[in-house]
Amino acid sequence: MIDLRSDTITQPTPEMREAMATAPVGDDVFGEDPTVNALEEQVAELLGKEAAVYMPTGTMTNQVSVRTHTQPGDEVFMAGNAHIYHYEGGAPSALSGVICKLLPEKRGIFTADDLELAISPDNPHFPAPRLVSVENTSNRGSGSIWPLQSIQEVEKMARKHGLKMHMDGARLWNASVATGISEKEYASYFDSISVCFSKGLGAPVGSALAGSAEFIHRARRFRKQFGGSMRQAGIIAAGALHALNHHRARLAEDNANAKMLAEGLSNLPGVELDPNLVETNIVIFNITSVSAPELEKRLREHEVLVLAVSATSIRGVTNLSISSEEIPQVIDAVRKCL
């Protein structure tokens, strides 16, 4: 099977398993797991922040961040297609009691003006505006990268209104590899950053939240409340650490494979896709001759796994398990199935 459903499906490599098997561990709730500590220090350093904290999932790092930045009744601004709103089980309202205000977006990117228009006046009728979340790269935006200038403008507007800035950087690594803009530079506009090790980096488990020492200190209490404090977590953190040090640069291959896939698909009759808009490892295309669920089913018979993300659109995500030699096979399978 050529599995393009997500970049979460990867298996740990033998070297990663070895690193996990031999990692020194301790009780992380006591702060005594050397591997978790090393991972947290490295992530903080990489993102140019004072501290970071390891958690089981990116949903948890995002939601702990929302909880740490806000009070119940506060308002959190994000793109209308944001992962935090769509794919995290309604957590902002369930766990933090906040209101999400969804902004108009193009491929997951909104403007400073969109943000300013949405900010409620300081008046007891309205929720208190508190936090802005930027998703880079944007998942439902087809892996789009936020231009640095858009981030700068949104940040300036947020500061003008006294708002905090969070980045959902589950795939920030893919953006940095594509643009050459460091993770640290992207992170410098944000109070908190969530990054995932279990997506393109290929680790089996985990995400980290980075920010100021004071912010991360408070976030640790919410991680505990949400049930995310683990004991000998070095076993899994070792996989994340290995991924960070060995799989980050190779994301360029995933980005290039996605481009190759998009270019091939865009030449097929019945496929709607602009390959110039594929910037990282996510390819979303529209089809006209069959339904997306039907194409997903047919492709499975050709040993290609993709996800129908709407009635008319299909998503393929290149990842560690996909080699460039397999891309022409995928294109050929789509051609046959259409």
- Rounded least distance, CB 208 to ligand PLP, Å: 11
Return the number of the residue (197 or 215) whose C-beta is nearest ligand PLP.
Answer: 197
d(CA 292, CA 312): 5
- Rounded least distance, CB 11 to ligand PLP, Å: 16
**138, β-bridge pairs:** 144
Which SS3 state, helix, strand or coil, does residue 193 take?
strand
Q: How far is CA 219 from the centre of its chain?
A: 19
Return the number of the residue (70 or 137) whose C-beta is nearest ligand PLP.
Answer: 137
- Rounded least distance, CB 64 to ligand PLP, Å: 12
- Rounded least distance, CB 83 to ligand PLP, Å: 4
> Phi first, then psi: what are they for 235, rounded to 5°?
-55, -45
Side-chain-side CA neighbours of residue 239 (13 Å)? 23
Per CB under 6 A, residues contacting ligand PLP are 57-59, 62, 83, 135, 139, 168, 170, 196, 198-199, 207
Helix (H) or strand (E) run with residue 164 in it: strand 164-169
By Cβ distance, which residue is nearest to ligand PLP? 58
Return the number of the residue (196 or 219) whose C-beta is nearest ligand PLP.
Answer: 196
- Rounded least distance, CB 289 to ligand PLP, Å: 29
d(CA 103, CA 100): 9
Other C-beta atoms closer than 10 Å to the C-beta of 23 total 23
Return the number of the residue (233 or 271) whose C-beta is nearest ligand PLP.
Answer: 233
Return the number of the residue (35 or 207) whose C-beta is nearest ligand PLP.
Answer: 207
Radius of gyration over alpha carbons of the chain, in Å?
20
